């Protein structure tokens, strides 16, 4: 019997040693090599996954999205629609900022109003239906809408809540400093070095699940070779945006792990549909064309027939994607399976061009991102080659992501004529997100459809979208969404290419979790046991 206490003590000692080691593994530093640096750290200016994946770490949100895109309560404990034109969000009384101040309804209202009113903000479309915000008392935020808005909880999962004192006075440049990034998230903004890194520290006062890591550093490594080299050398613990060829090679090494998944991100090409004369489409001799060819649906159809999507996915993406015929995937509610896939048919493409008055083609610049999407520059080259085969004289222009993005989101006259674009509805889980932001007619005055970069406009499509977005019944709304998407795709308003895949690579002992919206989240990197 005397041996039993000794054995028990020994087992307990081992247990606490293992527990201590596990805590050491979790309470450590994590360095992530990320493919793209945000063009702005202002949380209410540029709405895209690159910015949100960072701000999700250190700022507060009414709700958050998980890896599968489903909503997770955060500052908002619960929410409910009251009638057709009101939402009520009950905020957590325990929520506080890293300076110790409570997160109040006033802070939320000031933040949302800033996102609505900030010049050139791409968040404005999320609040297109909002009439006003009200303090309902007892930590309740009331949102009164002009028309029913079934997607309001998803919208608030995208807009950060910051202190009213900052929302009322901050400029976009201010958010590059810790002073203006007052946290209501699991981490605290520590240091930002433009072109190099963003450093975060665990927030000891966070009201939600505690941070998994003491320190997290996002290193901005836009060059894929540099990103892979940093992983293999051990200067970073994991990387995102791993390209197909590199994913295959890294997977062969026992000291590293690659995790791949599908996403909800559609990659497509945008036509300039608003200008009567578009600057980067010319006659074959370089002289100006009197009309914009893209205003003729036959030309847009010709482009659709000219692109071999299967070849792009198989050869350029090495299978890391899926050919697509609309914005969104079959996983999204409202997806329309009745939209036909446009086949690769060069003969039909040339016939349509001739019918539109361009039997010998025209000169065109194809403009694409570099460093934002999987093999984006190579996709651009492939598209250029395919369009040349139908008689076009093509110049391929590949630009850094931030440079091209700044030209297209402002809807200015110097934007390109035919350019790469992308959209993900993963945050909302339904096609309505794309319809609201990408398909509906653009209106700067109303803050509508800021991501309708080609400025497509069809009143019939708008009416269907407005009807869908004002329908609280899910089944009825999804049916309307599918009808609206079909009408828009029948117009060939964009040229869909594919759904993008995502790949993350990490050193042995770490397993990252991919998100359908492509976020790279530190607290979803687990330590293998």
Determine which helix (DSSP H) or strand (DSSP E) holds 504, and give its type and residue range: strand 494-507
Q: What is the pLDDT of residues 127-140, one digit of tens each?
A: 988 999 999 999 99
How does residue 447 score in pLDDT terms, banded at 50, 70 and 90? confident
- For 294, the token pair is 């893209």
Going by C-beta distance under 8 Å and a sequence separation of 6 or more, which residues neighbour residue 131? Answer: 85, 144, 145, 146
Q: What is the pLDDT of residues 366-383, one digit of tens each?
A: 999 998 888 999 999 999
Region of poorest pLDDT, from 19-23, 162-166, 451-455, 459-463: 19-23
Mean per-residue pLDDT over the chain, rounded: 92
Angstrom CA distances, 129 to 206, 269, 452, stand at 32, 28, 17
Residue 155 class from Cβ within 10 Å (0-12 exposed, 13-18 middle, 19+ buried)? buried
Asked if residue 23 has pLDDT above 70, the reply is no
Residue 130 has φ and ψ, to the nearest 5°, of: -80, 130
Residue 353 class from Cβ within 10 Å (0-12 exposed, 13-18 middle, 19+ buried)? buried
Mean pLDDT confidence for 302-325? 95
d(CA 310, CA 95): 49
Q: How far is CA 193 from the centre of its chain?
A: 23
Nearest CA among 160, 159, 154 for reference residue 184 = 160
Q: What is the pLDDT of residues 97-108, one digit of tens each?
A: 999 999 999 999
Q: What is the pLDDT of residues 198-235, one digit of tens each?
A: 999 999 999 999 999 999 999 999 898 999 999 999 99
With a pLDDT cut of 70, the percent of the chain lying above it is 95
Are 450 and 127 in contact, with CB atoms under 8 Å apart?
no
SS3 308: coil
Alpha-helix residue ranges (DSSP H) falling in 279-400? 297-306, 309-311, 346-355, 376-388
Mean pLDDT confidence for 425-431? 90
pLDDT value, residue 413: 86
How does residue 6 score in pLDDT terms, banded at 50, 70 and 90? very low
pLDDT value, residue 74: 97
Q: Is 27 left (phi over 0), alpha (psi -120 to 50) or beta?
A: beta
pLDDT value, residue 445: 86
Going by C-beta distance under 8 Å and a sequence separation of 6 or more, which residues neighbour residue 45? Answer: 118, 120, 121, 122, 123, 172
Taken in order 450, 454, 460, 461, the sign of the CA dihedral is negative
3-state secondary structure 202-229: ECCCCCCCCCCCCEEEEEECCCHHHHHH
Q: Is 429 left (phi over 0), alpha (psi -120 to 50) or beta?
A: left
pLDDT value, residue 67: 92
Residue 170 has φ and ψ, to the nearest 5°, of: -70, 145
Are 124 and 447 in contact, with CB atoms under 8 Å apart?
yes
Q: What is the CA radius of gyration of the chain?
A: 25
Angstrom CA distances, 494 to 48, 324, 423, 437, stand at 20, 12, 12, 14
How are the residues of the chain apportioned to helix, strand and coil, as percentages rounded to the nearest 5? 35, 25, 40
pLDDT value, residue 105: 98
- For 405, the token pair is 């993005």
d(CA 407, CA 204): 40
How does residue 18 score in pLDDT terms, banded at 50, 70 and 90? very low
Asked if residue 3 has pLDDT above 80, the reply is no
The DSSP-derived string for 10-64 is HHHHHHHHHHHHHHHHHSSEEEEEES---S---TTT--SHHHHHHHHHHSB-SEE
Rounded to a whole number of angstroms, the distance between the first and last alpha carbons of the chain is 34
SS3 444: coil
| Partners of 27 in the β-ladder | none
d(CA 232, CA 241): 15
The DSSP-derived string for 56-112 is HHHSB-SEEE-TTS-EEESSEEEEEE-SSSEEEEEEPTT-B-TTSPBP-HHHHHHHH
pLDDT value, residue 446: 85
- For 347, the token pair is 């003969």
Residue 283 class from Cβ within 10 Å (0-12 exposed, 13-18 middle, 19+ buried)? middle
Alpha-helix residue ranges (DSSP H) falling in 389-435? 401-409, 432-434
pLDDT value, residue 329: 92
How does residue 48 score in pLDDT terms, banded at 50, 70 and 90? confident
Going by C-beta distance under 8 Å and a sequence separation of 6 or more, which residues neighbour residue 39? Answer: 46, 50, 51, 401, 402, 405, 406
Taken in order 392, 395, 398, 402, the sign of the CA dihedral is negative
Q: What is the pLDDT of residues 330-346, one digit of tens each?
A: 999 999 999 999 999 99
Measured from the Cβ of residue 138, the count of other Cβ atoms closer than 10 Å reads 9
| Partners of 367 in the β-ladder | 397, 419
Going by C-beta distance under 8 Å and a sequence separation of 6 or more, which residues neighbour residue 432? Answer: 150, 151, 334, 425, 465, 468, 469, 477, 481
């Amino acid at each position: 019997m005397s041996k039993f206490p000794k054995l028990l003590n020994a087992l307990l000692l081992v247990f606490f040693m293992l527990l201590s080691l596990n805590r050491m593994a979790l309470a450590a530093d994590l360095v992530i090599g990320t493919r793209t640096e945000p063009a702005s750290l202002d949380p209410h200016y540029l709405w895209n996954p690159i910015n949100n994946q960072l701000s999700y770490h250190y700022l507060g949100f009414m709700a958050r999205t998980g890896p599968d895109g489903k909503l997770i309560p955060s500052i908002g404990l619960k929410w409910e629609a009251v009638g057709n034109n009101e939402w009520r969000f009950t905020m957590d009384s325990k929520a506080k900022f890293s300076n110790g101040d409570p997160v109040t309804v006033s802070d939320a209202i000031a933040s949302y109003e800033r996102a609505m009113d900030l010049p050139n903000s791409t968040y404005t479309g999320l609040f297109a239906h909002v009439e006003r915000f009200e303090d309902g008392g007892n930590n309740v935020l009331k949102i009164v809408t002009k028309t029913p808005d079934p997607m309001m909880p998803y919208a608030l999962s995208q807009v950060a809540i910051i202190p009213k004192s900052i929302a009322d006075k901050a400029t976009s440049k201010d958010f590059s400093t810790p002073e203006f990034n007052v946290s209501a998230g699991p981490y605290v903004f520590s240091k930002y070095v433009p072109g190099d890194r963003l450093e975060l520290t665990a927030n000891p006062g966070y009201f939600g699940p505690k941070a998994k890591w003491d320190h997290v550093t996002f290193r901005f490594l836009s060059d894929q070779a540099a990103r892979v080299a940093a992983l293999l050398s051990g200067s970073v613990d994991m990387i995102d945006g791993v390209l197909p060829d590199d994913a295959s090679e890294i997977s062969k090494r026992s000291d590293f792990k690659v995790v791949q998944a599908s996403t909800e991100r559609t990659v497509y090409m945008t036509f300039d549909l608003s200008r009567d004369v578009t600057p980067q489409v010319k006659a074959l001799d370089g002289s100006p064309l009197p009309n914009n060819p893209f205003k003729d649906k036959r030309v847009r159809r010709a482009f659709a027939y000219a692109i071999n999507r299967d070849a792009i996915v198989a050869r350029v993406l090495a299978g890391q994607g899926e050919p697509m015929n609309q914005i969104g995937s079959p996983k999204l509610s409202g997806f329309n399976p009745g939209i036909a896939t446009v086949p690769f048919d060069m003969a039909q493409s040339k016939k349509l061009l001739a019918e539109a008055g361009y039997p010998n083609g025209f000169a065109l610049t194809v403009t694409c991102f570099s460093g934002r999407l999987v093999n984006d520059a190579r996709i651009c080259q492939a598209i250029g080659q395919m369009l040349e085969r139908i008689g076009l004289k093509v110049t391929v222009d590949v630009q850094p992501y931030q440079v091209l993005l700044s030209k297209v989101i402002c809807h200015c006259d110097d934007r390109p004529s035919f350019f790469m674009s992308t959209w993900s509805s993963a945050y909302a889980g339904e096609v309505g997100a794309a319809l609201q932001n990408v398909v509906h007619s653009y209106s700067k005055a109303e803050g509508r459809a800021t991501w309708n970069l080609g400025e497509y406009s069809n009143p019939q499509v708008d009416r269907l979208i407005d009807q869908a977005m004002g329908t609280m019944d899910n089944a009825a709304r999804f049916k309307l969404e599918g009808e609206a998407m079909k009408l828009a795709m029948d117009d060939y308003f964009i040229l869909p290419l594919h759904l993008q895949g995502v790949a993350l690579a990490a050193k042995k002992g770490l397993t990252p979790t991919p998100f359908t919206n492509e976020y790279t989240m530190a607290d979803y990197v687990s330590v293998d046991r």
